[in-house]
């Protein structure tokens, strides 16, 4: 086993130092730019130790000195700044939807450096999706960048992450697909690949740097043809025993309702999914793939969405009663729906929810816009670097 040659460090000292390097990098990565004084306070370390850590991360090519940052009004002279490096390490983030795939090159600080999107056919073959991803990776990585340190993939389904397998993605028609290997074969990059559920990754990104920043209890509802949810409880992701937590689109709300893609009848998804909304506003069936844009341009009678708004609000009331979140973020086409009938959704939620949890929750749209899930996939890809920058880059 290699032995550290840094003078004066034993095994425990080295472990502590690498932990502190990771903590500093993660802190600056979250905000992009901060002051050394802030890091001194939040990490409970002295100024010289912070300076040493900053210098080591600068040598690794991930952070750099920045202009002084004011810490507080009338608090003395500004503190030396520190920020992520432009042209430093980056990742490939992949957001596979039911009918489209988005690929981005994302740098430290959550900067989307390049972004490309392509539509997919109905029930696409995983290998064909892999081919599309490979083409989009080439498109987004034409210009030179920093070292590639990971690939994160979001999928609208249940994922066995350690095995890289999509266990069940009903709206894609996938069962037990080794999609991490498919992506690895098509891209041909020798870096770790990690899979995650789209709603879970949306929740992760919104909690880390979006509408849920500083919030310990959050639910992110994804609207991508179907409906799913990612849950942050007590500041940590809630996955459940088998990774099925958050499948709110399959709450049974109408025993006499339509048959769902999952095989059951009357799921919430059949009431508020993209197909249901398209029918409500008289949009053609082929508009489902771009429903968010259709809703953004919708200028007809919003009363056509009254029943949809009521169903969204009642479903949210159930979620609020069960999970007692501080924030519920409506993502995907649900963000566009919120702009049209948000007041109706909130009113219905308050009417149906228990009074106490209903008063505590805020219903909002993503702080990261259309990039919540993509940035969640990027965070998945950055995990190894953020956990041990020395181990990945040295």
The DSSP line for 6-58 is STT--HHHHHHHHHHHHHHHHHHHHHSEEEHHHHHHHHT--HHHHHHHHHHHH
Query: 164: which DSSP letter?
Result: T
Q: 73: pLDDT confidence band, cut at 50, 70 and 90? A: low
What is the structure's pLDDT at 4? Answer: 40
The mean pLDDT of 7-31, rounded to a whole number, is 86
What is the structure's pLDDT at 122? Answer: 83
Q: Considering the entire predicted model, what is its pTM?
A: 0.91
Per the prediction, the chain carries an average pLDDT of: 92
* Res. 2: pLDDT tops 50: no
Return d(Cα 224, Cα 288) in angstroms, integer: 9
Q: 223: pLDDT confidence band, cut at 50, 70 and 90? A: very high
The mean pLDDT of 313-342, rounded to a whole number, is 97
What are the structure tokens assigned to 135, written together? 């083409």
What is the structure's pLDDT at 390? Answer: 96
- Which domains, from first to last, does the chain contain? 11-84 (1.10.10.10), 90-201+372-393 (3.30.420.40), 214-366 (3.30.420.40)
What is the structure's pLDDT at 6? Answer: 46
- Long-range contacts, 263-272 (Cβ 8 Å, 24+): 263/170, 268/227, 268/311, 268/315, 269/226, 269/227, 271/308, 271/311, 271/315, 272/227, 272/308, 272/311, 272/312, 272/315, 272/334
Question: Residue with structure tokens 């080794």?
Answer: 178
Closest CA to 235 of 208, 261, 260, 253: 208
What is the structure's pLDDT at 354? Answer: 97
Which residues are bridge partners to 111 per DSSP?
A: 107
- pLDDT per residue over 90-121, tens digit each? 999 999 998 899 999 999 999 999 999 999 98
Residue of higher predicted confidence among 209 and 80: 209
Closest CA to 18 of 392, 393, 394, 388: 388
* Res. 269: pLDDT tops 90: yes
Q: What HEC string does 218-235 produce? A: EEEEEEECEEEEEEEECC
* Res. 5: pLDDT tops 80: no
Return d(Cα 393, Cα 136) in angstroms, integer: 26
Q: Is 366 helix (H, G, I), strand (E, B) or coil?
A: coil
Crossing angle for the helix pair 36-43 and 47-59, nearest 10 degrees? 110
* Res. 71: pLDDT tops 70: no
Average the pLDDT over each of 43-57, 153-167, 177-191, 275-289 and give the range with the smallest value.
275-289
The mean pLDDT of 179-197, rounded to a whole number, is 95
Q: Is 266 helix (H, G, I), strand (E, B) or coil?
A: coil
What are the structure tokens assigned to 328, written together? 């519920």
Structural Rg of the chain based on CA atoms = 22
Q: 392: pLDDT confidence band, cut at 50, 70 and 90? A: very high
Q: Within 13 A of 260's CA, how many CA atoms are on the CB side?
A: 28
């Amino acid at each position: 086993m290699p032995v550290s040659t840094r003078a004066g460090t034993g095994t425990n000292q080295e472990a502590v130092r690498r932990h502190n390097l990771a903590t500093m990098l993660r802190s600056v990565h979250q905000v992009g730019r901060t002051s050394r004084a802030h890091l001194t306070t939040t990490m409970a370390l002295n100024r010289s130790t912070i300076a040493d850590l900053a210098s080591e991360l600068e040598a690794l090519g991930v952070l750099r000195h920045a202009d002084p940052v004011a810490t507080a009004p009338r608090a003395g002279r500004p503190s030396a700044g520190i920020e992520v490096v432009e042209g430093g390490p980056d990742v490939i983030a992949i957001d596979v939807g039911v009918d489209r795939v988005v690929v981005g090159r994302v740098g430290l600080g959550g900067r989307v450096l390049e972004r490309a999107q392509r539509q997919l056919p109905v029930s696409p073959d995983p290998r064909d999706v892999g081919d599309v991803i490979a083409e989009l990776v080439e498109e987004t990585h034409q210009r030179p960048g920093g070292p590639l340190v990971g690939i994160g993939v979001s999928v609208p389904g249940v994922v066995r992450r350690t095995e890289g397998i999509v266990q069940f993605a009903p709206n894609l028609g996938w069962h037990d697909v080794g999609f991490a290997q498919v992506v690895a074969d098509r891209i041909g990059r020798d870096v770790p690949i990690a899979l995650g559920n789209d709603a879970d990754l949306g929740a992760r990104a919104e909690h880390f740097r979006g509408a849920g920043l500083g919030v310990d209890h959050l639910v992110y509802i994804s609207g991508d043809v179907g409906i799913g949810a990612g849950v942050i409880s007590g500041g940590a992701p809630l996955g459940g025993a088998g990774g099925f937590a958050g499948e709110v689109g399959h709450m049974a709300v109408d025993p006499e309702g339509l048959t769902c893609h999952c095989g059951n009848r009357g799921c919430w998804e059949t009431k508020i999914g993209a197909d249901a909304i398209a029918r409500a506003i008289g949009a053609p069936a082929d508009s489902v793939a771009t429903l968010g844009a259709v809703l953004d341009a919708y200028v007809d009678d919003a009363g056509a969405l009254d029943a949809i708004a009521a169903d969204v609000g009642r479903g949210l009331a159930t979620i609020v009663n069960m999970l007692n979140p501080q924030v519920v973020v409506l993502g995907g086409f649900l963000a566009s729906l919120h702009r049209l009938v948000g007041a109706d959704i909130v009113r219905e939620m308050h009417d149906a929810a228990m009074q106490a949890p209903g008063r505590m929750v805020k219903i909002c749209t993503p702080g990261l816009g259309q990039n919540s899930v993509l940035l969640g996939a990027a965070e998945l890809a950055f995990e190894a670097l953020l956990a041990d920058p020395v181990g990945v880059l040295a």
